[in-house]
Amino acid sequence: MSRGPRLGADGLNRCPWPGDDPLYVAYHDTEWGVPEYDDRALFEKLILDGFQAGLSWITILRKRDNFRRAFDDFDPAKIARYDADKIAALMNDVGIVRNRAKIEGAIGSAKAWLKIQEEGPGFSKWLWGFVGGAPKVNAFKTTAGVPASTPLSVKISKELSARGFKFVGPTIVYAFMQAVGMVNDHLVDCHCHARCGAMTKPQRRIATKQPNRTVRQR
């Protein structure tokens, strides 16, 4: 069903999918489509999108704090070392999605993430390289125009799979790309469209060395 932007009670036009759920609206306004360049945060979002497969995103969002607690704040170095006892504990954790294949997939993906970090420029730089380092800004007027996957998400999916990542099909990857701002799929009349589209990677701050006051001036 084709749907255009929805006018909220606060007078702001936004994409229709959050509805009136305060948690979902806050996620839409402050996270979805905002460019994310942090290596670990990107890993977390990719894993959570994998857990979403077959479920609604709001289900995962409501459990996100539980996931963070259960998965050591998505520290790939820790997840890569999970053993059978940890898997069993996760399977007994009612606060998360208890799916053995997805849990074991997260462990495999953590190992793949670590390998990219060790061998290359880092997960963030590798991922963002597919879109030239900046968000691809779309201008969809209704949800009917927003694709479930694209040739680029198919390409990234294949690359991730080849490196050992799990639950990274083209549809999951495209949802991930939308979430982390690699593509800006806020509807063009949504109040977030222009803001997210204008965002770029923050400049790395260079620490300035303070002069040593004990050094004798010439």
- pLDDT of 46-87, one tens digit each? 999 999 999 999 999 999 999 999 999 999 999 999 999 999
Asked if the structure places residue 206 within a domain, the reply is: no
Asked if the structure places residue 131 within a domain, the reply is: yes
* Residue 202: closest CA among 181, 187, 184, 188: 181
Q: What is the tally of structural domains in the chain?
A: 1
Residue 213 has pLDDT above 60, yes or no: no
Beta strands 13-14 and 6-7 are antiparallel
CATH number of the domain to which 156 belongs: 1.10.340.30
d(CA 22, CA 78): 33
In the chain, pLDDT over 70 holds for what percent of residues? 90
Q: For residues 1-30, give the mean pLDDT.
A: 90
Asked if the structure places residue 184 within a domain, the reply is: yes
d(CA 192, CA 148): 20
Quote the radius of gyration of the chain (alpha carbons, Å).
Answer: 20
Angle ∠(127,128,134) on CA atoms, nearest 5? 165
Residue 216 has pLDDT above 70, yes or no: no
Asked if the structure places residue 45 within a domain, the reply is: yes
Asked if the structure places residue 42 within a domain, the reply is: yes
Asked if the structure places residue 124 within a domain, the reply is: yes
Structural domain for 53, as ranges: 29-198
- pLDDT of 107-145, one tens digit each? 999 999 999 999 988 999 999 999 999 999 999 999 999
Asked if the structure places residue 213 within a domain, the reply is: no
* Token duo for residue 78: 């820790």
Taking all residues of the chain, what is their mean pLDDT, rounded to a whole number? Answer: 91
* Residue 192: closest CA among 7, 14, 1, 10: 14
- Contact by Cβ (8 Å): 166, 191: no
Contacts of 183 (CB under 8 A, 6+ apart): 131, 135, 136, 137, 138, 174, 177
Contacts of 172 (CB under 8 A, 6+ apart): 49, 50, 52, 53, 157
Asked if the structure places residue 158 within a domain, the reply is: yes
Partners of residue 14 on adjacent β-strands: 6
- pLDDT of 80-112, one tens digit each? 999 999 999 999 999 999 999 999 999 999 999
So what's the pLDDT on residue 198?
Answer: 80
